[in-house]
Structure 1
Amino acid sequence: MEAPCSCRQQPFVPKFLLEAGAGMIPHPAKADRGGEDAYFICDRGTCMGVADGVGGWAEVGVDPGLYSRELMSHAKKAATTCEPGPNAPQHLMEVAYLSTLARGSSTACILCLENERLHASNLGDSGFMVIRDGELVFMSPQQQHEFNFPYQIGSADSMSDTPQVARRFSVEVRQGDIVVAATDGLFDNVYPDEAASLVSASKERGENAQAVAVTLAQFARMRAADPTHLSPFAYGAQQLGYRYFGGKMDDITIVVAFVVAAAQPKL
């Protein structure tokens, strides 16, 4: 059964909003079909999410991007009527999962802001970070069955995980914080402290959230293409005894959001 969405006696009046923008760079071999990642940013400025379609579906003639894009589309639609609260991200994930008809499977990370609390449900190796004054203050852990085999939700024939196994988080945020949600194309190639420094410096230069997301995506792509870079993916592989060096080419999708004060209604 899906998690109930938050209910209130009075309409929710937000104290803070997510001023968000996205950057996407598909894998070069998948660029003709737009890659296999997807994202959403709700129009109310309270919810956002990313998803990474599982590439193995291409082997049976299914475009892996169809599932992730439909999943995020349904999550965005559900966000228009879901009030922010601790259960909101899980509710959006479960509604989107039940509504998605495409074949395939995907990781998913959904975030909803409720005043000073950022609530999240994360399933798989996509994830999010909270950055404050140039420093990383929170990063969600990955969910993997084994190395390079993340948790995933999917269609009935996918033998995937269920949304109920998603990890749930509630993180304190402040005005001026930067929230980064991304697929593993970022996390496999850029270390968290690097990402925190880069987005903070970009914001300090006056870039808006979308420009910051694009800057970070371009940096991740540069690292993915560098055969001499000891990437986070390479480091993890070597720790398990694999012979791997360099970046990991992949779709890269990043949503960056600034936590900003919401306009308060006049009394």
Structure 2
Amino acid sequence: MLRRGLRGARALVGAVLELNTQPTASIPLALAAVSSAPSTSASCASRHAALQSRVWLSHAALQHAPAPHTYTLTITTGNLRGAGSLTPAWVQLVGTQGKSERIIVGDTEDDSLGRGTVRTVTVTVSEDLGQLRFVNVQRLGSSISDAGTGWYLEHVVVSTPERHRLVFPCHAWFGEADCGGMRGPLERNLLPVSPEDSKERGEPVRMIASGLAVPHPDKVKNDGIKGVNRKGFGHGGEDSYFYCEGKNHVFAMGVADGVFMWREQGIDSGDFSRALMRLSEASVLGGSADVVKVLQDAAAGAAAAGIQGSSTACVVLVNQERGQLLAANLGDSGCLLLRPVEDGEAADHEAAPEMDLEDMAEFGTGADPPEAPAERWAPTVYEVKFRTNQLEHDFGRPYQLGHHAGADTVDKCDVATRAVRRGDVLVLGTDGLLDNLSDVEIAEEVAACRGRGQGPSIIAQRLARLAFEASYDKGRVTPYAVAASEHFDMVYSGGKPDDITVLCAVCE
């Protein structure tokens, strides 16, 4: 009897020890063998039950342990004079569901970031990062050596666990270049390009822009709030916008929409949205050419100043020398890139006069802009080449930066890069525009205005006017009506009265 009890205990212990070497499918078989082993004492049976429970817990843990996700990164240093570096760099992946640990590259002589080198590293995470937003690259200080004082990164290519290949172009210096006196920041956020977009090359452009913010009529009537529209900056209600040209021919523009409901707690979110735009402008004028960094600087500045409220934000940078657009969007504001798909020869006409600043301020109080004179024109068709994604936690609950604990972070923003060329038109708007006019309607109005030879000021005015009219049309099928019908499973029609902000920039 004693021998049989010892044999049963040994069988149980042996099964436990084998758990680390057996496939999970064989574990129940081992347990079955243990269960059939004889036992003659109560204490032995108790130990048997305890060990069996531990085995089952181990089996369950093995079954539910998350499988590792491995990303392969290929880092290419440019083949330029002085492009190499003996100083290592940190690399980090940032996705919609999380971020990886920072991985160091170039920290050994055999793995240095020399001129023209291609280095491959792997990043393993326990949980899926989701869709990759950007790659953060940070050079660990500057070095003075035969390899130069700066580092020129060509690009980073990421192979995902699903075997997708993503290209994150850089084509820029970290630190001071050996040629031409160029100097770049030691940290950059690289945005992905799709395979089809990576084949498209931009061309040098010059951006001509204008903006308009129109507050909700009730705010004008009840609170006396007026739109303030000046060259480079404006606001209306809780909406705000900016546009400017920074260093190194970088053009920037952005819109922000403060969340009105904070008024119930005595907080004006217009202060927050205006701060975001002013701080974004300051970051660009200070030399930043990294759209994620611009938004990070703005969010950090608003937090440091103790400004309360919350706001959506969409910021776009255009490298005018390379013809490259960089976009970052958080929430339900957005950006559209429109491109002519066929050329039309405009008939002789006199283009409509653009409004001056006083006229724009008048429109900000609810007055209508002057009508453009009717004239013959040859139509040009525009198509939407790119649109930022709308980020919402739920219908009517957009992602937003803010002072509160539940606020979102810049890491969650939707980012993208696209090539731009002469003739392209950029339209940025808050949800007052995008909830009331479809992409097709915006493209048609841009085509009509460009066909008449009209510039960004008239385009912004026309889009704001059309969005305003649609917002009060109860029979209109608007993007907001379609989304509300789907969300509430009921038929809804009409627009959504709101603050309306429109920015327009033409690539020349």
TM-score normalized by the length of structure 1: 0.89
* Amino acid corresponding to residue 465 of structure 2 in structure 1: Q
Deviation at 1:214, TM superposition (A): 1.0
**1:25 alignment partner, one of 214, 232, 254:** 214
- The one-letter amino acid paired with 1:178 is V
- String of CA shifts for 1:67-109, please: whole Å, max 9, x gaps: 000110010011112343xxx1111100000001310000000
Name the CA distance, whole Å, in 1 between partners of 2:431 and 2:283.
25
Asked whether the equivalents of residues 442 and 463 of structure 2 are also in contact (C-alpha less than 8 Å), the reply is: yes
**In structure 2, what is the equivalent of residue 54 of structure 1?**
259
Q: Deviations over 1:81-138 (max 9, x none)?
A: 2343xxx111110000000131000000000012222001110000100101111111
**Counterpart amino acid of residue 223 in structure 1:** A
Aligned partners of 1:82 and 1:248: how far apart in 2? 38
Counterpart of 1:194 (choices 441, 458, 474) is 441
Residues 16-165 of structure 1 mapped to structure 2, 5 A cutoff: 16-31=205-220, 32-33=224-225, 34-44=236-246, 46-84=251-289, 88-100=290-302, 101=305, 102-114=307-319, 115-133=322-340, 134-155=382-403, 157=404, 159-165=406-412
Taking the aligned partners of 2:137 and 2:253, their CA distance within structure 1 comes to 18
Q: Partner of 2:494 in structure 1?
A: 246
Contact 1:105-1:158 at 8 Å conserved across structures: no
Name which structure has the greater RCO, CA cutoff 8 Å, separation 6+.
Answer: 1
Structure 2 gaps, min length 5: 1-135, 139-171, 185-202, 226-235, 341-381
Tell me if structure 2 keeps the 8 A contact 1:151–1:161: yes
Q: Secondary structure at the match of 2:206?
A: strand
Distance in 1, matches of 2:137 and 2:245, equals: 21
Report the residue type matching 1:36 in the other structure: E
Question: How does 1:190-229 map onto structure 2 within 5 Å?
Answer: 190-229=437-476
Larger radius of gyration: 2
AA aligned opposite 1:160: A
Contact 1:75–1:96 under 8 Å retained in 2:
yes
The 1:38–1:83 alpha-carbon spacing in structure 2 relative to 1, beyond 3 Å, is same
Letter in 2 for 1:47: A
Distance 1:203 1:59 in 2: 43
C-alpha distance in 2 between matches for 1:161 and 1:103: 14
Residue identity matched to 1:48:
M
Q: CA 1:4/1:203 → structure 2, altered by over 3 Å: closer, same or farther?
A: farther
CA deviation digits over 1:209-240, x for unaligned, max 9?
A: 12211111111001001111011101111112
2:430/2:500 contact within 8 Å kept: yes
1:190 CA drift (Å): 0.4
The code of the aligned residue for 1:30 comes to: K
Deviates more, 1:28-37 or 1:170-179: 28-37
SS in 2 for 1:170: strand
Counterpart CA distance in 2 for 1:74 and 1:189 is 29
* Matched residue count: 254
- Tell me if the contact between 2:288 and 2:294 (Cα under 8 Å) persists in the aligned partners: no
Letter in 1 for 2:315: I
CA–CA separation in structure 2 for the residues paired with 1:65 and 1:242: 33
Percent of aligned positions that are identical: 35
Cα separation, 1, equivalents of 2:451 and 2:210: 16
Question: Match of 1:29, as an amino acid?
Answer: D
The 1-side partners of 2:173 and 2:242 are apart by 23
Whichever residue aligns with residue 169 of structure 1, its letter is A
2:420 to 162, 173, 176: 173
CA distance in 1, matches of 2:298, 2:206: 23
Q: Report the secondary structure of 1:125's partner residue.
A: coil
For residues 90 and 250 of structure 1, the distance between their equivalents in structure 2, rounded to whole angstroms, comes to 28
- Residue of structure 2 in register with 1:265 after alignment: none
Give the Å deviation of 1:244: 2.7
What is the identity, as a one-letter code, of the residue corresponding to 1:188? D
Which deviates more, 178-187 or 41-50? 41-50
Distance in 1 separating the partners of 2:183 and 2:498: 42
Deviation at 1:15, TM superposition (A): 2.8
Instruction: Give structure 1 stretches of 5+ with no counterpart.
Output: 261-267
C-alpha separation in 2, matches of 1:93 and 1:132? 26
Equivalent-residue separation in structure 2 for 1:42 and 1:153 (angstroms):
22
- Indicate the SS of the match to 2:504: strand
- Alpha-carbon separation, structure 2, partners of 1:147 and 1:125: 10
Letter of the aligned partner of 1:119 in structure 2? L
TM (normalized to structure 2)? 0.48
Amino acid at match of 2:493: F
CA RMSD of superposed structures (Å): 2.1
